[in-house]
Amino acid sequence: MSAAAPSPAAGAAPDAAPGREAVASAYQRFEPRAYLRNNYAPPRGDLRSPDGVGPWKLRCLAQTFATGEVSGRTLIDIGSGPTIYQLLSACTHFEDITMTDFLEVNRQELGLWLREEPGAFDWSMYSQHVCLIEGKGESWQEKEHQLRARVKRVLHIDVHQPQPLGAGNLAPLPADALVSAFCLEAVSPDLPSFQRALDHITTLLRPGGHLLLIGALEESWYLAGEARLVVVPVCKEEVMEALVRSGYEVRDLRTYIMPACLQTGVDDVKGIFFAWAQKKEGV
């Protein structure tokens, strides 16, 4: 979700920093609960239809983790935002999970759920759905308990910095895997910034490690309460090219077309992409 800051990245084009400053400024008005209502409550949060966007994302993640190839000890979730669904299948395969976000309000929202505090967003429908599609006989309460136990820290991140987690961070590096959902395109003012951000987070991943990347296709803006956030529009081919340039072998790349019934006026997204990529040795 949010992982942007105003300071320029190394090697950035001269006009790139003002664009990132505008992004960072806009995110100061980001409202986590409004974002969650817009995207994770009905109609987009209705998981009963297998054709919905929520079930599609959860299937992509569950099917990829079910291969057994994406596993290890450590995983970092890049730009978690206020959401946890992207880790429900991951938590079975990694014992040390780091969640991250640029915004303190999002880190606070995550903390409410991780500590099971009153007023935390209810993710139980997502947890139930993941248990259903994984088919292991696990209860949703067991799933959530495991995820809470395996998230070891929630850290600040800035994907526009060459060291996204900063010097002396507490995350064990390099990680065995990265997950990132709706982050890089949402905090990058242009394609070169998107590419640099991908390059930066790739430094956190060990050679041979895996990246699972979910993002918006052909989106230029979205709403989160009073905030109207600008997004760099990307297509499937541009995502593929960016991953290859950052030193990945693309193992899988799927797309979902947003149906008219889920185009609710909170953004202009045309679809969603899911990419599974493996960092090449020597990168």
Confidence of residue 168 (pLDDT cuts 50, 70, 90): confident
pLDDT of 157 above 80: yes
159 is in an annotated binding site: yes
Range 226-232 average pLDDT: 93
pLDDT of 169 above 50: yes
Distance of CA 45 to the CA centre of its chain: 17
Strands (DSSP E) contained in 92-164 are: 96-101, 151-156
CB 44 within 8 Å of CB 28: no
CB 214 within 8 Å of CB 273: yes
Residue 10: predicted pLDDT: 32
d(CA 147, CA 188): 29
Confidence of residue 283 (pLDDT cuts 50, 70, 90): confident
35 is in an annotated binding site: yes
Residue 4: predicted pLDDT: 56
* Tens of pLDDT, residues 235-267: 999 999 999 999 999 999 999 999 999 999 999
> Per the structure block, which two tokens stand in for 223?
């709403």
101 is in an annotated binding site: yes
> Per the structure block, which two tokens stand in for 148?
């809470």
* Tens of pLDDT, residues 82-130: 999 999 999 999 999 999 999 999 999 999 999 999 999 999 999 999 9
* Percentage of residues of the chain with pLDDT beyond 90: 88
Range 138-158 average pLDDT: 98
Torsion sign (Cα): 45, 54, 271, 177: positive
pLDDT of 16 above 80: no
CATH fold, domain 33-279, is Rossmann fold (3.40.50)
Range 187-197 average pLDDT: 96
23 is in an annotated binding site: no
pTM for this predicted structure: 0.93
Domain boundaries, the chain: 33-279
Residue 155: predicted pLDDT: 97
Residue 1: predicted pLDDT: 60
40 is in an annotated binding site: yes
pLDDT of 6 above 70: no
Residue 12: predicted pLDDT: 35
d(CA 20, CA 8): 8
Cα angle vertex 277, ends 254, 163, to 5°?
125
Q: Strand, helix or coil at 251?
A: strand
What values do phi and psi take at 24, rounded to 5? Answer: -60, -40
